[in-house]
Amino acid sequence: SPKWVPQMSDHQEIMKHLMAAIEGSNADISFPALVPNLKGMEAAVETGVREVAIFASASEAFSKKNINCSIEESLDRFKPVLSCAKSNGIKVRGYVSCVIGCPYEGRVSEESVAKLSKQLIDLGCYEISLGDTIGVGSPGSVSRMIRRVQQDVQTDKLAVHFHDTYGQALANILTSIQLGVAVVDSSVAGLGGCPYAKGATGNVATEDVLYMLEDLNVETGVDLGQVLQAGQYICKELGKENGSRAARALLTKAEKGGAESEKSASAGTDAQMIKKLVLNN
């Protein structure tokens, strides 16, 4: 709601532009819309979305602060959302927030996370993203949480979403991959955060995740050079420092390389130069 999050005031306009950009395309791309209730779902349907996401918290206190209702009440709200999505042929992804800790309650039990994840699957979500909203998790707590959830939800229906507040996101992602999870949420340049989790940083930077995965020979289908360019563009527009360590290092190296080969016909585009630097690292 724009009342609670002013940045949402033009969300429908943005979605309409995005959907128009891929209209008639068979490209495997999705612009999921986060919807808190049926009203939000109906607004999303109007924009022509192909996928939506619903979000519930494993913490009662965070649920009340974030969406102004209890966990059970949030699940009741989602039932008509899932029904509307089904009748419109729209996929629904479920998010569970505060899977490790909560800014109001402290540690969150693995049992609570597993129970809520199973409930969202039973409602009709095709996938559950397990989110460490305030970034307090580390490999030990993340491993325990995922192993418990795997007892109730198939691993191929799980994804992970780590904020990098304590610098543990990459280690947590590696732990998750070793446990069989193959889907990772990330944010270009590490942008983002949560207005209801003070002090939490944004989601782990896409550039940092890609840099690690390329070294592990994991095929992602994502061009790191192009992501670096996109990250620099949006950071300049927002007047923010790029939150990706890998991006800052690679771009600094690219600038030095560009200065040495300025005006050279073999220099190629920025993306090509960056890609060459990535491959040489």
**What does each C-alpha distance from 57 to 25, 33, 183 come to in angstroms?**
35, 18, 20
Residue indicated by tokens 């290092």: 249
Q: Give the active site residue among 84, 102, 194, 235.
A: 194
Specify whether the CB–CB gap between 267 and 258 falls below 8 A: yes
SS3 38: helix
The whole-angstrom distance between residue 263's C-alpha and the CA centroid of its chain comes to 39
Our answer to whether residue 194 is catalytic in this structure is yes
Task: Tell me how far CA of residue 276 lies from CA of 1, 31, 73, 222, 269, in angstroms.
Answer: 44, 30, 52, 15, 11
Look at strands 51-57 and 101-102 and give their pairing.
unpaired
Q: Distance between CA atoms of 197 and 271, rounded to whole angstroms?
A: 35
C-alpha 203/C-alpha 95 separation (Å) is 14
Q: Which token pair is 176?
A: 């998750």
Radius of gyration of the chain (CA): 20
Q: Which of the residues are catalytic? A: 194
